[in-house]
Structure 1
Amino acid sequence: MKYREQFPRQVRRDDVWIPTRDGRTRLHARIWRPEDAETDPVPALLEYLPYRKSDWTAPRDAQRHPWYAGHGYASVRLDIRGHGDSEGTPGDEYDAQELADGVDIVNWLAAQPWCTGAVGMFGISWGGFNALQIAALAPEPLKAIVTVCSTDDRYDNDVHYTGGAVLGIDMLAWAGTMLAFASRPPDPANVGRDRWLPMWRERLDALEPFLHTWLAHQERDDYWRHGSVCEDYSALDAAVLAVGGWNDPYRDTVLRLVEHLPEDKVRGLVGPWSHQYPDRGLPPGPAIGFLQETLRWWDQHLKGADTGVMREPRLRAWINEPVPPATSYDVMPGRWVGEAVWPSPSVTWDERPLGSGGDPVLVRSPQHTGLDSGRFFPFGNASDLPPDQREEDGRSVCFDSAPLQTRVEILGRPRVRLRLDSATPRANVIARLCDVAPDGSSTLVTRGVLNLLSRHGRDQAVEWTPGTYEDVEVELTGIGYAFPPGHRIRVAVSDSYWPWVWPHGERGQLTVVPADSALLLPVRDPAHDEGREPIRFEEPEQAPPLPVTYDQPADPRAERLVTHDVAKGEWTLEVDPNYGGSRTYPDGLRYEESARETYRIRTDDPLSATAVSEWTIRLRRGDALWNELGDDHGIELGDDHAKGHGNDWDAEIVTRTELRATSADFIMDSRVEARANGETVAKRAWHRTTPRTSA
């Protein structure tokens, strides 16, 4: 990693309040821009998030916003209404208010004297989502976006549902996370010591757990169509650079965008990465010079320069070389390939029957099948990726190819077509594609889920008639991968996948006819690369890092811990999401964060499934903290927070969210307790039930 201290233009930073159209609410922004932008205006770039620019994303922000400013842009980091230091109360994710505010900000930025009138948006995950969604609203100044690890389909490619099935692991976990995040107070250093507590009380009074809303919409309805740009790709007029990683669950969005947007409006880039910006150097690598690559995008579309970025292939993708199974890789071996069009003529469909005859096979997996699924959102941590799949394969029905005689390279979304019958009206089917080495180790390549109720469309729930056979197709998530000679290609089929997929209320079984079932592989011809210039990127470059001190526990707890109560037949998975833990900032802010997710299920009982998310967050600043930590944590207090000024601030939030189910209903319990300087500010609790219409 190269840290750049000198830039073509000198940079200043300002914290500003930006008005919205209601005239009552101001949003808080941090703006880095060239010092001479008043006389030599620049385009503006907006990153728009609920994740708190003053602390949670501050280290990441310091890597990129000053870098963009030094290269001739006003780079803006904005807190969404009701989050961080912005006024107002938090709403649902990507709600109409959030998007309207975003349009207001784009227009405000374009009107500033230091702005040329051209605006871009960028972001990862939430920020990538609303960049796409605001672009679909087409504010005139918004000319280009960079959307990273985001989705065009909020129902079937987000944290709520997959293949029409409830995502047990992230439906609950992300709802619990956002309950904790939305409960955090504004910082008195930014909003004023007389305002922060009333603002916080207003937020806490307005809280409503996301989980209630998400489970009230179990089919693809208008709630999910809102913000899903796949409903009308033609609404996107801004130029779109879509970026993803093969270890991120949203990667299929890149493939869909490059397929459906006009050639002169889109480019796609998919690397081996997790749910992270590609320049951060977090596993798996290799990292690339992503800031330099996006600068080419901005200069092309916001400054009118010919940077050559639109002469790049429509899709640049990484092909993973085979590796032994592991939960983390510093660098994933492989190579870059380019496709001028997508779908590509270099990719053809290879249909491989799962069997040549014989009797149907029964699929009746233990309920704890899926414990080796890995993290839904790999984040660059040590336990993110799925381990050796042999135990999972043993809990599934497997169909193996003969040892391969030649290399088989795939790029795209494999499919598994199954002729099957279900013994119950409601069931899930899960298909995993694995690479089996000669030593028997099994590496997960990709996977897919289908809730059989949604087999005729995600907008409807059609129960199965037991005793009848149908052909169903499970679409797996996209991948670039090379199976080597001597290895076997395995399709593993199960009807359980906990905790990724919430089980239906009745234990059933599937009957599959292998001879009438098949794996469809998008096989890529490497000869397509002959005579082409190799795809290269610069080495990562960033602005100097923010000097944050992270705690290093003497005895860190396990990120993923599986235990088995043999007598009860109960399996427990405990997860530490490890978003960074506790840390101390150079301005004297102490941010402490602890989270734990717990998933339980009994081998033979789908109704035993429970999921719990627990969070504790504490923010502190002032004399008491100085006396406790002092120089050991490198605190350098500015004038506003100097020792002896009596400006102690201590805010703490404790949350708990639980999900369980009967055969008829989902049951949700959530609670929040907030304290300021040891005194309770608010206690809130919710108990909700909602019918199981599709799940």
Structure 2
Amino acid sequence: MRLKRLTPVLTALLVTTAAGAPAVAGTHERVSRPGEYAGYTPVLYDEWVRTSQYLPTRDGTRLAVDLYRPAVDGKAVERPFPVVWEHQLSRASRAEDGTVSLRGVTSGMAELTRYGYTVAFVDRRGNGASFGTMTGYHSRTEASDAYDVTEWLAAQSWSDGHVGVFGCSNTGDAAMQAATVGAPHLEAVFAGNYSFHKYDAFQRGGIRANWGAGPNRTREEDLRNLPVDADGDGSLLRQAVAEHQANTSLKDMWQAAPYRDSEVASVGTRPWHEYSVATYKDAIERSGVPVYSFDGWDDDFRKESLVSAATLSNPHKVLVGPWPHCGSEGFDIVAERHRFFDYWLKGVDNGIMQEPPVHYYTGSSDGTGQWRDARQWPPNPRARQTRYYLDGGSSGTVGSVNDGTLDRSRPRGHGAGDTYRIDYSVSCPEPVGLAQTCPQDEKGLTYTTAPLRDDVELTGHPEVSLHLSSTAPDGNVFAYLSDVAPDGTVRILTDGRIRLALRSTQRAPYDVLGTPWHRGNAGDAEPMPEGRAERVDFDMLPLSSVVPAGHRLRVTVTGADVRESDRTELSPAPVYTVHREPAHASSVTLPIAR
């Protein structure tokens, strides 16, 4: 494993200012902690210039790149600096009224030019103003492009050869893919809200999510992408857009891949395998490149960053905040990127890698919370994995809440079970995207505790174990864990899902943090036996939340979710029975922190 970080510099080292005169770093109070960074490197420039051009890849495909460089009096500074870059879908575009949105500026990363960085944004092939076609989603061709981009950036006269990559969501995935190809000059990766294994994230529990099928731009929308500087009449952009028309339809591709090992003829590969970062974990470890992963507790990808950090031996940091997908409200994510890149690309000894590797937020339904540090995830090995049993269903009918109880005592009844006919009419007032769904308690079976006598902190990975029978050979099951306030307000804390035909568990080829793992290959599919209870185990997404005293915990079980994209609705709808007799008890195990 190779680590290419520079020797740490002394904070009193002389540096050159924009005017060429020496200045001493560290003349202001120094602060280096998560989301705060000042005084370790001076502001060198108060201007930047943006240029754009095409750069070549090994197969001749031209990729469009925007370069933001430090400047003095409107001219780029010619001394070499580290380069950080993002592999985007569209680096810049015109709105319908013709105004230009410079995504590099709005992301805040152009701010790093003030401290002596060049910041680059590159359109992936088949997107933006780049030529070529997008085959699949994060293909090996794109990964090879990332190698070529990294090495091209390192070789330029304005580059000092130290290169980092960053991104979030699809560009976070692209940043991680860049670490799989062994580019010699890639020295740091800062990636947010990415999928470590696409099947686990996009097809969680074997159930297709309602996102990940874009971009789906019309030709007219594509032509609003910003041409490079030399393409004054837009003729090159028009040629590139013509090539984009052959891009893969991601919606069709995912529909053709219901299993982890599905091969799709249109892309000539097994997409879940080829396009997943996890497939190349050995290559990432060989590179030794340090990785900073961040996510939010209100994002469907949040387990992926934690699995990535647990699996990879690379130097790693993890940040999880109270945010939706790619959110960072109240936290300066640009400052955090800055101090990470300063450490690895400039050798600034700012202490970031001496901090505990996990920084996470624990919130509460009253809107309060606190940031915490930990040396591993889950952070508290003394957390009690506490089992609560689903019991006491009264009517067994849908349309009312509090149908059953959630209790530490094992059920004692005989032949008890709650029947439920799937209600497909689930809905939310607003689109949910990658965020948590809205409560669906009236659409399923609910099991609720008595009011809590003390505050309860849940930090870790809840797990569900149902004994369930169905009138259909297959179907989807969803479980939600909620905080119910004394006034009846319901706040979903986390959820889990499983396709019943893919209920069998296997040993994962990477660290899934002790949770049940469902391989989901075609050969694993097994119909539900008619009228017989089957044990169905699956995990819920991780969380860190305090449920106040007086509130109650609730588990809701449904057969439909607003976030499904490939739902098969049967008529009549199947009937599920959640069993709760002693020999076939159903339960949820909660990570209660001490």
TM superposition score normalised by structure 1? 0.66
SS in structure 1 opposite 2:171? helix
Q: Could you say what the CA RMSD is over the residues aligned between the two structures, in angstroms?
A: 2.6
Q: Write out per-residue CA displacement over residues 97-120 of structure 1, whole angstroms, 9 at most, x where no aligned residue.
A: 222111110010111122121211
Secondary structure at the counterpart of residue 458 of structure 2: strand
Alpha-carbon separation, structure 1, partners of 2:247 and 2:68: 32
Structure 1 residue 421, shift from structure 2 partner: 1.2
Report if aligned partners of 2:126, 2:240 keep a CA contact under 8 Å in 1. no
Q: Is the 8 A contact 2:296 2:327 kept in 1?
A: no
* Superposition pairs of residues 90-129 of structure 1, within 5 angstroms: 90-129=134-173
Partner of 1:311: 354
**Partner residue in 2 for 1:430:** 478
Contact 2:143 2:180 in 1 (8 A): no
Q: 1:314 to 1:208 in 2, by over 3 A?
A: closer
| 1:253 matched to 2:297 | no
- 1:295 equivalenced with 2:359 (yes/no): no
Query: 1:521 — aligned with what?
Result: 590
How many Å apart are 1:430 and its aligned residue?
0.5
**Distance (Å, rounded) in 2 between the aligned partners of 1:373 and 1:470:** 35
Distance 2:186 2:257 in 1: 32
Q: Shift of the alpha carbon at 1:402?
A: 1.6
Residue 462 of structure 1 aligns with an amino acid whose one-letter code is E
Matched, 1:162 2:204: yes
Hey, what's the Cα distance between the residues in 2 that align with 1:340 and 1:200?
48
* Aligned counterpart in structure 2 of residue 339 of structure 1, from 374, 378, 382: 374
The number of equivalent residue pairs is 491
Cα distance in 2 between the residues matched to 1:341 and 1:78: 34
Tell me what 1:577 maps to: none
Cα deviation, residue 155, structure 1 = 1.3
Q: Give the counterpart letter for 1:271 in structure 2.
A: G
> Is residue 2:295 matched to residue 1:229?
no
State the AA in 1 paired with 2:131.
E
Aligned equivalent of 1:267, options 317, 320, 324: 317
Distance 1:234 1:205, change over 3 A: closer
| Correspondence 1:335-484 to 2 at 5 A | 335-344=370-379, 345-355=381-391, 356-358=411-413, 359-371=416-428, 375-378=432-435, 386-387=437-438, 389=439, 392-456=440-504, 457-460=519-522, 461-484=525-548
1:34 match:
70
1:518 maps to amino acid: S
* CA distance in 2: counterparts of 1:11 and 1:240, whole angstroms: 28
What secondary structure does 1:66 align onto? helix
Per the TM alignment, residue 60 of structure 1 is displaced from its structure 2 partner at its CA by 4.2
TM superposition shift of 1:61? 1.8
CA distance in 1, matches of 2:357, 2:340: 13
Larger relative contact order (Cα-Cα within 8 Å, sequence gap ≥ 6): 2
Deviation digits for residues 87-135 of structure 1, max 9, x if unmatched?
2334332122222111110010111122121211000111100111120
In structure 1, what residue type is equivalent to 2:579? V
1:9-52 deviation digits (Å, cap 9, x = unpaired)? 353322122111113x2211111123488664221111011124
Q: Tell me by how many angstroms 1:504 deviates.
A: 3.0
Shift of 1:181: 8.2
Cα deviations by residue, 1:532-575 (Å, 9 ceiling, x for unpaired): xxxxxxxxxxxxxxxxxxxxxxxxxxxxxxxxxxxxxxxxxxxx
1:409 Cα deviation after fit: 0.7
1:439/1:38 CA distance change after superposition, 3 Å: closer
Q: Aligned match of 2:53 in 4, 11, 16?
A: 16
CA-CA distance at 1:204 after TM superposition: 5.4
Q: Does structure 1 retain, via aligned residues, the 8 Å contact 2:459–2:592?
A: yes
Distance 1:256 1:339 in 2: 15
Aligned amino acid, residue 468 of structure 2: L
TM-score normalised to the size of structure 2?
0.77
SS in 1 for 2:199: coil
Q: Which has the higher strand share?
A: 1
Residue of structure 2 in register with 1:136 after alignment: 180
Residues 179 and 209 in structure 1, CA contact (< 8 A), matched pair in contact too: no
Residues 303-327 of structure 1: CA distance to partner in whole angstroms, max 9, x if unpaired? 222211112222111111114xxxx
Contact 1:32/1:65 (CA < 8 Å) preserved in 2?
Answer: no
Find 2:574's aligned residue among 490, 505, 508.
Answer: 508
Question: Are the equivalent residues in 1 in contact too, given 2:129–2:237 (CA < 8 A)?
Answer: no
Q: How far apart in 2 are the matches of 1:194 and 1:335?
A: 51
SS class of match (1:155) = helix
Amino acid in the other structure paired with 1:376: G
- Separation in structure 2 between the aligned mates of residue 430 and residue 62 of structure 1, nearest angstrom: 40
In structure 2, relative to structure 1, the CA distance for the partners of 1:517 and 1:226 (3 Å cut) is same
1:79 deviates by 1.1
Distance 1:60 1:470 in 2: 50
Contact 1:350 1:523 in 2 (8 A): yes
The 1:225/1:257 distance shift into structure 2, 3 A limit, reads same
Partner of 1:213: 253
Contact 2:94/2:226 (CA < 8 Å) preserved in 1? no
Give the distance between the partners of 2:43 and 2:326, measured in 1 at CA: 25
TM-superposed CA distance for 1:234, in Å, is 3.3
* Helix, strand or coil at the partner of 2:530: coil
Contact 2:466 2:586 in 1 (8 A): yes
Q: Deviations over 1:407-437 (max 9, x none)?
A: 1111222111101112111111100011111
Shift in Å, 1:206: 1.9
Tell me the residue number matched to 2:16: none
Shift of 1:182: 9.6
Compared with structure 1, are the counterparts of its residues 180 and 350 closer, same or farther at alpha carbon in structure 2 (3 Å cutoff)? farther
Report the equivalent of 1:238: 289
The CA distance in 2 between the partners of 1:205 and 1:483, in whole Å, is 51
Q: Distance in 1 between matches of 2:361 and 2:260?
A: 32
- Distance between the aligned counterparts of 2:220 and 2:362, measured in 1? 39
Is contact 2:467–2:533 with CA below 8 Å preserved after alignment? yes
CA contact (8 A) 2:452 2:548 kept: yes
**Pair 105,201 (structure 1): closer, same or farther in 2 beyond 3 Å:** closer
Structure 2: runs of 5+ lacking an equivalent: 1-34, 262-269, 392-410, 505-518
Q: State the SS of the aligned residue for 1:206.
A: coil
Gaps of 5+ in 1: 279-284, 324-331, 379-384, 526-695
Percent of aligned positions with the same letter in both sequences? 28
Deviation at 1:232, TM superposition (A): 4.6
Other-structure match for 1:672:
none
Stretch deviating more after TM superposition (497-506 or 482-491): 497-506
Q: Return the alpha-carbon distance in structure 1 between the equivalents of residues 111 and 437 of structure 2.
A: 35
